[in-house]
Structure 1
Amino acid sequence: MAEGGGEQARIIDGKAVAAGIIEQVKEARDRLMSALAVKPGLAVVLVGENPASQVYVRNKSAKAHECGFHSEQHTLPASTSEADVLALVSSLNRDPAIHGILVQLPLPDHVDEQKVLLAIAPEKDVDGFHPVNVGRLSTGAPGALVPCTPAGSVILAKSALGSDLSGLEAVVVGRSNIVGKPVAQLLLRENCTVTIAHSRTRDLPSVCRRADILVAAVGRPQMIRGGWVKPGACVIDVGINRVAAPDLGEGRTRLVGDVAFDEASTVAGAITPVPGGVGPMTIAMLMANTVTAAARAAGRPDLAAGVGATRTAA
């Protein structure tokens, strides 16, 4: 790794990398349409009126339209029963025009999230949260739909470090099922030496300083300080936190990551910004999973081969 030391890190442009993935998705869509007249279909389910969820769903639906997909948005009131949510998922499982199903989290308290996620057919689980896909990823079995944020994070690391990450030491701060654990599995698949750190890790700063690749996915604003970063390391900041910004005016807020960007960017070799880093990649990988699912459902996985791949073929 290159040594840092006061110079500004390279800013990893998630928007630009995501745009490249979207072009791959559109090319695969064209191949599906030309060969089989199959249009990839994505259904997004939103239960309730969480403002952040509404923004995320709107962005996902807009990107699906941009990709030329058949796109459905099912918006249900917060009072919708668990049985009705499950009935909608079951209907979408049976719909041949739908290849990807995404249920936006969080769900209202009276709806069991795990039960709903388990109800999604694994082959349509474009979030990659179903235990079948989790198991395929962890065992290296073929056919996994990989969680979008972890997959995008590894692609961003490769954009900074090159396609071969073999032998690099990676530290993942955060052990969630949504990001921490799957990104660790993906980095293991890339032949990295991986440590999963968390709130009870002893001397967390020194553990982080070992990392050639440092992935911050802990959900605490600016927790990772500049002094925790190894000079020249690649820092992937998954965090999206809204904090008070009195300098912008009374009651105003700004988005920050889990990394203290101003500090870390003078030490790291490359770093993702917040916003504009991992966020755009998450939506791009959702589109990649959808077109992959469509190609598999049509019996022609080759038509989407390599779209959003996190690993260079051997």
Structure 2
Amino acid sequence: MTGGRATARTLAGPPAAADLLARAAALAATLPVTPAIAFIRVGDDPASESYVRGKAKKAAELGLDSRVHALPADTTQADLHALIGTLNADPGVHGVLLQLPLPGHLNADAALTCIDPRKDVDGLHPVSAGLLWQGQPGLRPCTPAGVMALLDHYRIPVAGQHAVIVGRSALVGRPLAGLLLNADATVTVAHRATPDLGAVTRRADLLIVAAGQAHLITPDMVRPGATVIDVGINRVPGQDGARASLTGDVHPDVAGVAGALTPVPGGVGPMTVAQLMMNTVQAAAQQTPADRRNGASGDVPR
């Protein structure tokens, strides 16, 4: 159906993100403290610097306190762990986010494991992962939780649906599988090495693609009427001197087959930052003594 007329409903990220941010602000307003997040950035990678600047700006817009710790590229593992330990012990800091990737000489997994799970607003600590897979309340990885919030905003059914995830990373695919299972979906996890990938994806009521390959999913790989969530962001070089453009893991012509589809950009991306803000507020609620919450519930939704 290449070149077919677009019929899919567009699941735009900004309206869903605005709804999630409004709910985060409402929860923050019930707390006797101002939720605070500390960002750690190591080195001078322009992309990391831009990402942290954008997240800190969003926190300020929401009325949260944000602190950026910019460390030199030659920071040692011990010094990085020492800073994380200081932030863990600071009662005025409710969330700690380590911006990835780190310089090659640093062990990201070791550093992430040093973060207090109560302050793990990125949801990447092994304790956070364990709580997720046990179906217990906890802080969830931002992009998978953002996907769930987007589905909820647009009233896309999850319970009883067959969800196929293309991608098995610890950042998106694996935790998203857990969230969908907790929401009573039947879940299949596939990836680029899955034999006859199209035969798997065509069975999906809900197809979520986070494989990191531009236009991996083509129209013939999608069941007509399925909901398709494109998590991929790929930079494609322009032709004849044109600027590079961003595109997803799903071919645009899938819009002629799917019942609903997220755009790239402007789909899942805004949800990731919004969920980070919600995680920060929820972490602050969890760390605020119950008798000081003015009736606020600090429970982290499943």
Match runs of 1:24-43 below 5 Å? 24-32=23-31, 36=32, 38-43=33-38
Which moved further from structure 2: 250-259 or 93-102? 250-259
The number of residue pairs the alignment matches comes to 296
* Correspondence for 1:63 among 52, 55, 58: 58
1:290 corresponding residue in structure 2: 280
In the TM superposition, residue 229 of structure 1 has moved relative to its aligned partner by 1.0
Relative distance call for 1:222 and 1:7 in structure 2 (3 A) is closer
Alignment correspondent of 2:115: 120
The Cα of 1:196 is off from its aligned counterpart by: 0.1
Cα deviation code 1:93-118 (max 9, x no counterpart): 01111000000000001110011000
Show CA shifts across 1:88-145 (max 9, x none): 1111101111000000000001110011000000000000000001000001123x10
1:15-67: CA deviation from partner (whole Å, max 9, x where unpaired): 110011111111111111xxx2x110000111112222111111100011011
Q: Cα distance, 1:292 vs. partner?
A: 0.4
Q: Which amino acid aligns with 1:21?
A: L
Residue 166 (structure 2) aligns with: 173
Is 1:275 aligned with 2:268?
A: no
Q: Return the TM-score normalized by structure 2.
A: 0.94
In the alignment, is the contact (CA less than 8 A) between 1:292 and 1:304 conserved in 2? Answer: no
SS of the residue aligned with 1:250? coil
Write the deviation string for residues 64-87 of structure 1: whole angstroms up to 9, x where unpaired. 101111110111121111111111
Q: Does 1:138 align with 2:133?
A: yes
Using the alignment, how far apart are the partners of 1:228 and 1:102 within structure 2?
A: 37
RMSD over equivalenced CA pairs, Å: 1.6
Question: Residues 47 and 76 of structure 1 are in contact (CA less than 8 Å); yes or no, is this contact kept in structure 2?
Answer: yes
User: What corresponds to 1:244 in structure 2?
Assistant: 237
Q: Percent identity?
A: 49
Q: 1:9·1:265 contact (CA, 8 Å) conserved in 2?
A: yes
| CA distance in 2 between partners of 1:46 and 1:290 (Å) | 18
The answer to whether the aligner puts 1:147 opposite 2:137 as a matched pair is no
List structure 1 segments (4+ residues) > 6 angstroms apart after TM superposition: none
Equivalent-residue separation in structure 2 for 1:197 and 1:135 (angstroms): 22
Contact 1:160 1:234 in 2 (8 A): no
Query: 1:227 corresponds to which letter in structure 2?
Result: D
Q: Give me the whole-angstrom Cα distance separating, in 2, the residues matched to 1:225 and 1:158.
A: 26
Match for residue 192 of structure 1? 185
How far apart in 2 are the matches of 1:8 and 1:46?
42
1:251: Cα distance to partner?
5.5
Aligned mates of 2:226, 2:299 — CA distance in 1: 27
* Alignment equivalent of 2:91, drawn from 80, 90, 96: 96
Equivalent position SS for 1:116: helix
Larger deviation: 75-84 or 145-154?
Answer: 75-84
TM-score using structure 1 length:
0.90
Of residues 216, 223, 232 in structure 2, which corresponds to 1:230? 223
Which position in structure 2 is the counterpart of 1:19? Answer: 18
Match of 1:9? 8
Question: The residue matched to 1:265 in structure 2 has which SS?
Answer: helix
Summarize deviations over 1:212-246 as a string: whole Å, max 9, x none: 11000101111111111111111111111111122
* The 10-residue stretch of structure 1 (174-183 or 76-85) with the greater mean CA deviation from structure 2: 76-85
Whole-angstrom CA distance in 1 between matches of 2:6 and 2:78:
56
Change (3 A) 1:219 1:106: same
- 1:190 and 1:48 map into 2 onto residues whose CA distance is 39
Tell me if 1:158 matches 2:152: yes
